[in-house]
Amino acid sequence: MDGWMDEPPERPLGKVQCHVPPGSGMTTKIIHFMVNGRLEQAEFSADCSAADVKDLFRAAAEAGPHHILKMYNANGSVVNISPRLEANSEESYYRLEVVASDLRSVAMPPELDNMEYRLHHLESRVTEDVGKTPDIISGLKSHVESFKRKLEFHSPHCQSAEHLSWMGLFKADGDQQLSKFCPKPKTPQLSVQEERQQVRRKFLNMSSLQVTEEVREHLKTPIFDNWQWEEAEMLVLLQVMYTDLDFLTAFHIEPEVLQNFLFEVYCHYNNIPFHNFQHCFCVTQMMYGLIWLTDLRNKLGRVDLLIMLTSALCHDLDHPGYNNVYQINAQTDLALRYNDISPLENHHCAVAFGILSKPECNILKNLTGEQYKHIRGGMIKCILATDMARHYEILNKFKLMQPVFDFTNQDHKEVLMKIMVKVSDISNEARPMAVAEPWLDCLLQEFFNQSDTEKLKGLPVAPFMDRDKVSKPSSQTSFIRFVLLPLFSELTKLFPCLEQHILEPVRRALEYYSDMERASKDEEGPAKA
């Protein structure tokens, strides 16, 4: 975080280390990795900050602060560079690469450098007093790093294809790939309408770009990091999903109509902490990844794949940030309109088909009446299935089908499609911790906003939403143990390949939050005594 010099400090050949205070009792982990043709060894504790670990690997790669690094495991998959990087042996070494090396000319504003220095100084002082970096400072550091990456990406110096290669966007020009595109930073203090139009312009400008094969492949995995992409870029990636599943050809979808549809979907997600457009993208991206990982393209018809992907895309349209229990207890217009029966999910469906009713957005307009009816019915079933009040009903149906599951049986297929949308909807903990944990913060913020309103209105408050009763780890351990693991385990029985991709990460997440919960209780013990 405090920045490396252009020439990194000298270090022992073959070993880099994050400082561990002597006598601290901290357990260190050893990471073996290949960089620049040589085998290196890194040593750090789980208490090291993410920034320190990244700086450690920058030093090993002899990279400057503006270089972009990627780490690959023995299977060639991208892994997150963080304190949670798993220890390995020399035989199963990671591969570290500098994937963008032309950013040294990007000048950071002096105000940002000053902010970064002051933040680092504050962290050092606080760490000396309390022995660890508070979450709020870690969050601020993360925001500063993210802002720096965006400045680098938006810099007027980006002239070469190499600069954009980390994002995988290239301008198509005949048989060549040229990078003439350099997006502009957002103008501050825009109205919502102006900001949306700016996103639309950027999206349409980028829609003629080609996304590299590397990014296309990464898009098919649960480790995809949504936090590195802007809204217009996510719209481009959604377009890639529809294109690469061959929906445009199969259903005679015009590219311009698809773009209009995607943009309208974006416009109908609200600016709230969790159930926003980024969440919509994550759920759709996970669904897309699961389709490829389970080879569903060869098990279900393309129309069923369209139903699942579009259901994921539309499943939370116009979510107000207050759940069904609130809608019913507060007797909102939605609860009254839908007679207290899945008010939000019914509303999401209605908004989705309201968008599709516009000819310029109707990606289904070239289908037969029978095809449209089938897709509409399938989407309604899949979106209504995301109401957690129906979770055990749907899961139990799936369990009963498991021993004799039949991909040609319509009832079996319908339940599977619901399960796939449900898994995608609550799949954050299947992602790397650096991607998943910020989503938990967003969810808790939305929960707390609701419970604060419920207290003001004298409505019942769910304990798991009450900021005075819930903690970050306690909010997750029960949810993972009683909701995620049974659901993911059942899907893994049908698709054993998913164990390593979604089930194991969820098990690790449970261990992570259980350890955090135990540590929190241990800290409280002496204080209460």
At 382, list the tokens. Answer: 């899949």
**Residue position matching structure tokens 């400008």:** 205
Could you tell me which of 274, 295, 278, 297 has the C-alpha nearest to residue 238?
A: 278
**Residue position matching structure tokens 């549809």:** 261
Q: From start to end of 101-236, where are the E strands? A: 169-173, 176-178, 209-211
Q: From start to end of 174-278, where are the E strands? A: 176-178, 209-211
CA dist 172 → 201, 462, 505 (Å): 18, 52, 37
Q: Are 453 and 466 a contacting pair, CB within 8 Å?
A: no
Instruction: Give the separation between CA 348 and CA 317, rounded to whole angstroms.
Output: 5
- The H or E element containing residue 33 is strand 28-35
Q: Are 294 and 492 a contacting pair, CB within 8 Å?
A: no
Strands 94-100 and 28-35: parallel
- Kindly name the residue from 67, 275, 315, 501 that is annotated as catalytic: 275
Instruction: Give the separation between CA 139 and CA 147, rounded to whole angstroms.
Output: 12
Could you tell me which of 150, 148, 305 has the C-alpha nearest to residue 231?
A: 150
CA angle 264, 268, 271 (to 5 degrees): 130
Task: Report helix, strand and coil shares of the chain as percent, to nearest 5.
Answer: 60, 10, 35
Instruction: Give the separation between CA 392 and CA 204, rounded to whole angstroms.
Output: 42
What is the side-by-side order of every strand in the sheet holding 68-72? 15-17, 38-45, 28-35, 94-100, 68-72, 78-79
218 in active site = no
Cα 142 to chain centroid distance, Å, stands at 15
Backbone angles phi, psi at 17, to 5 degrees: -145, 140
Range 188-212 burial, b when 16+ CB lie within 10 A, else e: eeeeeeeeeebbbebbbebbebebb
Positive or negative, the CA dihedral 132, 136, 137, 142 is positive
Could you tell me which of 210, 203, 58, 224 has the C-alpha nearest to residue 145?
A: 58
Instruction: Give the separation between CA 136 and CA 130, rounded to whole angstroms.
Output: 14
- The H or E element containing residue 510 is helix 504-528
Q: Are 312 and 424 a contacting pair, CB within 8 Å?
A: yes
**Residues taking part in catalysis:** 275
